[in-house]
Amino acid sequence: MSLLIDSFGRQHRDLRVSLTDRCNLRCSYCMPHDFSQWLPGEHLLSTDELMTVIEVAVDHGITGIRLTGGEPLLRPDVVDIVARIAALPTPPRIALTTNGLRLPALARPLREAGLERVNISLDTLDPERFRRLTYRDRHADVLAGIAAAQNAGLLPVKVNAVLMRDINEDEAVPMLRHALASGWSLRFIEQMPLDAQGTWDRSAMVTADDIFAMLSEQFDLAALPTRGSAPAEEFLVDGGPATVGIIASVSKPFCAACDRLRLTADGQVRNCLFAQDETDVRAVLRDPALEESSRRARVAELLGLSVRAKLPGHGINDPGFLQPARPMSAIGG
């Protein structure tokens, strides 16, 4: 089987699968509170359809699957999906990115089904600020979700925070202190131009350098060597063993080592978060004229085409950069 290698020699090993574009929070940097442009239900891939893509991808060298969304835990059969991926003949590593709200009920079944790691998004330690940022009064539920993930053994639990100027940038140090005390592996992510409103403003972005400077005032940070294709630059905090990560997607892109491919909930393959083009696998998955083996061969061909069309970088810093038409919630973060 051919591997998914692009024209710059990058072998793709990581597939991010969006299980739904729906979410139970309304993070202001992701979608407006009255967002209603959901993907049409009939366009969403069934579980059999998305398993076909995952199986073909694994046959072509994908070794890690990350389930995301929207909010992946809103998909009613998410535990079954994890179990089906874990039961593949060559099972990939399975991770999930979530807001954590449904983890108190699902962390243990997910772990038992084969989930290995979880990233939980939380941008503030302040419940009132959380309500303003997400339009939902659910801060305590996220904390309960993080605890549930820890209790279920999904360790280390990674907590991802986006810092924004004049909104929560003052929380860099308190969040790291809290993370150290609670056993969270904390990572800060630069805000990217992926909001549905198109209001991202570079000058308002809290950069990786800003975050490093704020943390360095209170902690001794030592850069860890090799990060491979991982998006976060990791630092040992106060001599370790705890670490903190900073994901500088905008100010220090790491595209040269990118090994990621994405499948949207409506069956489009994207070779970059910021790609302008998508490759439609849904039509092939639903083509009644295709027999199963031809369908799989065609899906493999489309994955290869998408990978080979990948650009060297996301281009956010180019003068002609255009934000993708889909918001993050409909791509799969």
Interacting residues with ligand SAM (CB under 6 A)? 23, 29-30, 68-69, 71, 97-99, 121, 160, 162, 189, 191-192, 194-195, 328-329, 333
The minimum distance between CB 135 and ligand SAM, in angstroms, equals 14
Nearer CB in complex with ligand SAM: 6/190: 190
Nearer CB in complex with ligand SAM: 29/212: 29
Count of residues in the chain: 333
Nearer CB in complex with ligand SAM: 148/299: 148
The minimum distance between CB 96 and ligand SAM, in angstroms, equals 8
The minimum distance between CB 286 and ligand SAM, in angstroms, equals 26
The minimum distance between CB 130 and ligand SAM, in angstroms, equals 12
The minimum distance between CB 191 and ligand SAM, in angstroms, equals 4
The minimum distance between CB 156 and ligand SAM, in angstroms, equals 16
Residue whose C-beta lies closest to ligand SAM: 333
Spatial separation of the C-alpha atoms in residues 296 and 316, rounded to whole Å = 34
- Using alpha carbons, select from 194, 128, 134, 201 the residue that is nearest to residue 164: 201
Nearer CB in complex with ligand SAM: 203/293: 203
31, two tokens: 């979608």
297-324 b/e (C-beta count within 10 Å ≥ 16 → b): ebbbebbbebbeebbebbbbeeeeeeeb
Q: What share of the chain is helix, strand, coil (3-state, %, to 5)?
A: 35, 15, 50
Q: How far apart are the first and last CA of the chain?
A: 28
Q: How many CB atoms lie within 10 A of CB 105?
A: 12
Nearer CB in complex with ligand SAM: 30/57: 30
Spatial separation of the C-alpha atoms in residues 124 and 161, rounded to whole Å = 8
303: left (phi over 0), alpha (psi -120 to 50) or beta: alpha
Nearer CB in complex with ligand SAM: 218/251: 251
Nearer CB in complex with ligand SAM: 195/233: 195
Nearer CB in complex with ligand SAM: 170/220: 170
The minimum distance between CB 160 and ligand SAM, in angstroms, equals 4
In this structure, the strands spanning 268-270 and 260-263 are antiparallel
Spatial separation of the C-alpha atoms in residues 43 and 266, rounded to whole Å = 5
Phi, psi (deg, nearest 5) at residue 173: -70, -50
Answer whether the bond into residue 104 is a cis peptide, omega within 30°: no
The minimum distance between CB 103 and ligand SAM, in angstroms, equals 11
Q: Give the DSSP letter of residue 164.
A: B
